[in-house]
């Protein structure tokens, strides 16, 4: 089904062994094709999604045999998700696999491709990999923003999905990002400890801000190199909040270069970036060797241009 016009009657799903312990919002993202994520969240909030006849929250975990009822979705949207994944795109994504075993695949996602299709996106990383591999069971273990490049973990087995999501929840998987931020960060190392609150704009777009009413959020920052107008930082989120690194950077006066949502009005006199300068560069997973993805060419090029602007000495 490819548009919200296909969901104008009551829809039922039954949870099987492959979806056990999956969140209801993630379950619906992969099944209500063509329905914007903001609309799905609203359906859940308004009680239009029921599990075993009961209202649920977005984070509710599913169990085998659960009966899910989705009320009719009464609006139309142009079909933008029916575009098939071309062989060229599928093979390009396969070439970006940096680690694979019988249960786990790690892909170095390029900037500009979403991790999954929907909300006006023709296809995403997961759809492309399913098309390229022919595997029915490939599931995202976690997500990164569409404009962020770098490492994404994908499970090939239900058991691996559950194990690694548990490790993420327990903060036992260390993720490190490379970020180019505006201005010169003064401290070589710092822990940004600011609670973050998610909210929605009038158009349904989700945003995040620092708020005492938000959830506890911590990010460890380490300066890698300072330039005249920017700083290369290695950021390790110690919690897993939406847009955490971006909003924490903004909170200390150093928003990310190329960010059109947070801090875009902050002055920046360096070379213009092609995109959000955030790259998931390293994964440290218990029981696995450290997995790394080098800085992509566009960010390497920007760093070279910044160095040419009479950069300060790199931090050891």
- Please list, in sequence order, all residues whose beta carbon lies within 8 angstroms of the beta carbon of residue 135, skipping any fewer than 6 positions away: 129, 156
Tokens of 233: 């930082």
| Contact of 125 with 153, CB cutoff 8 Å | no
- Please list, in sequence order, all residues whose beta carbon lies within 8 angstroms of the beta carbon of residue 211, skipping any fewer than 6 positions away: 195, 196, 197
Rounded CA separation 73/87 (Å): 33
Rounded CA separation 122/2 (Å): 10
Phi-psi region of 2 (alpha: psi -120 to 50; beta: other; left: phi over 0): alpha
Residue 145 annotated to the active site? yes
* DSSP-assigned states of every residue in 267-306: ---SPPPSS--EEEEEEE-TTS--EE-PPPHHHHHHHHHH
Taking CA atoms, 202 is separated from 38, 118, 199, 205, in Å, by 11, 20, 10, 7
Task: Give the single-character DSSP code of 46.
Answer: T
| Contact of 169 with 162, CB cutoff 8 Å | no
Q: Is the dihedral of CA 265, 270, 271, 275 positive or negative?
A: negative
Angle at 206 between CA 112 and CA 49, to 5 degrees: 110
Residue 37's CB is within 10 A of a number of other CB atoms, namely 17
Bridge partner list, 219: 192, 237
Identify the active-site residue in 145, 147, 166, 260: 145
Positions marked active-site: 145
């Amino acid at each position: 089904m490819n548009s919200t016009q296909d969901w104008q009657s009551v829809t039922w799903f039954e949870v099987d062994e492959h979806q056990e312990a999956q969140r209801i919002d993630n379950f619906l993202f992969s099944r209500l094709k063509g329905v914007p994520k903001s609309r799905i969240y609203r359906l859940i909030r308004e009680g239009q999604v029921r599990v075993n006849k009961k209202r649920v929250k977005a984070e509710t975990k599913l169990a085998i045999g659960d009966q899910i009822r989705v009320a009719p979705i009464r609006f139309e949207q142009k079909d933008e998700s029916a575009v098939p994944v071309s062989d060229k795109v599928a093979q390009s994504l396969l070439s970006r696999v940096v680690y694979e075993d019988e249960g786990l695949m790690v892909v170095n996602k390029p900037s500009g491709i979403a991790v999954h299709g929907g909300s006006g996106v023709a296809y995403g990383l997961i759809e492309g990999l399913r098309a390229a591999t022919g595997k029915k069971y490939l599931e995202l273990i976690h997500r990164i923003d569409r404009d962020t490049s770098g490492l994404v973990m994908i499970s090939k087995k239900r058991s691996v999905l559950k194990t690694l999501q548990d490790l993420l929840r327990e903060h036992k998987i260390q993720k490190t990002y490379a970020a180019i931020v505006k201005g010169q960060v003064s401290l070589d190392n710092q822990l940004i400890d600011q609670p973050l609150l998610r909210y929605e704009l009038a158009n349904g777009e989700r945003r995040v801000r620092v708020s005492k009413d938000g959830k506890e959020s911590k990010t460890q920052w380490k300066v890698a190199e300072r330039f005249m107008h920017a700083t290369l930082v290695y950021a390790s989120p110690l919690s897993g909040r939406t847009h955490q690194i971006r909003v924490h950077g903004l909170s200390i006066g150093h928003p990310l270069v190329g960010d059109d949502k947070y801090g875009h009005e902050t002055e920046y006199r360096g070379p213009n970036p092609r995109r959000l300068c955030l790259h998931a560069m390293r994964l440290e997973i218990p029981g696995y060797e450290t997995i790394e993805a080098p800085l992509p060419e566009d960010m390497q090029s920007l760093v070279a241009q910044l160095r040419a602007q009479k950069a300060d000495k790199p931090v050891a």
